[in-house]
Amino acid sequence: MRIALLGGTGDIGEGLALRWAYDTDHEVIIGSRDPDKARAKADEYETELSSRGRDVKINGFTNAMAADRASVVVLAVPPYHVADTIDAVSDSLSEDDLLVTPATGIKREDDGFHYHPPKAGSVTALVTDAAPDHVPIVGAFHNLAAGRLADLDADLDIDTLLVADDPDAKETVWLLADGIEGLRPLDAGGLANASEIEALTPLLINVAQHNDGLHDLGVRFQ
């Protein structure tokens, strides 16, 4: 399967790109507004994987070109770029594609990080409103520590919660998440439940900042 990571030059994009390229046989494509930056990062990821004995090809393109070449498109961009990114790639999305959104709205104040959803109620809802009607949306990978995800020496042993209204799209992303070693996907219901999941992210950041040894904190449900 071809996976396009739009904004794949950033932290969460890097982690997902490296993990999918290292743990699975899926083809990873890096997207960016700047194609040179996308190609440079793709080369960087290839070099890291090659040093670990994994010889894979990762291509870099503009976001629209990356989306055009994949069936699973991950919006690995900050929440305030989500709508613009979808607008830029909407003509590249077919009815056989799906969009994955891991973004969450966060604001930082003197006393810590807080959930800051858009007017739509959640970033996932914002993505749903902005996306073409024929493209299903899956919320996933919201609460992952980017540094831990990108460190291929780190054991993950964490969960990721999935929300979607389209069962086939959810199943596809469930299988993609399950392919990453140490990452367990869990079904959290429909898209309406996204805000509860997104709100966990600032909580995890606050806990990580105030407790030694928990810098790359994750969640495991038992």
What are the structural domains, with CATH classification, of the chain? 2-210 (3.40.50.720)
**pLDDT (mean) for 58-71:** 97
Residue 216 confidence (pLDDT): 87
Closest CA to 69 of 35, 104, 23, 115: 35
For the chain, what percent of residues have pLDDT higher than 90?
A: 97
Strands 137-139 and 158-164: antiparallel
Instruction: Please report the pLDDT score of residue 10 as a whole number.
Output: 94
Q: How do strand 137-139 and strand 112-115 relate by DSSP bridges? A: unpaired
The pLDDT of 23-31, averaged and rounded, is: 97
- Beta carbons of 164 and 185 less than 8 angstroms apart: no
- State yes or no: pLDDT of 171 exceeds 90: yes
Q: What are the tokens at 168? A: 């086939």
User: SS3 of 89, please?
Assistant: helix
The SS3 call for residue 218 is coil
Res. 192: pLDDT tops 90:
yes
pLDDT score of 214 more than 90:
no
Instruction: Please state the rounded mean pLDDT for residues 37-64.
Output: 97
Give dist(CA 12, CA 101) in Å, integer: 11
Tokens of 55: 């010889």
148, pLDDT greater than 90 = yes
- Average pLDDT for 130-158: 96
pLDDT at residue 213 greater than cutoff 90: no
| pLDDT category of residue 215 using cuts at 50, 70 and 90 | confident
Q: State mean pLDDT over 32-46.
A: 97
Q: Do 32 and 8 meet the contact criterion of CB atoms below 8 Å apart?
A: yes
Query: Angle between the 123-130 and 82-89 helix axes, to the nearest 10 degrees?
Result: 30
Q: CA 69, CA 199: separation in Å to the nearest integer?
A: 32
More confident of the two residues 133 and 213 = 133
What is the average per-residue pLDDT within 199-214?
93
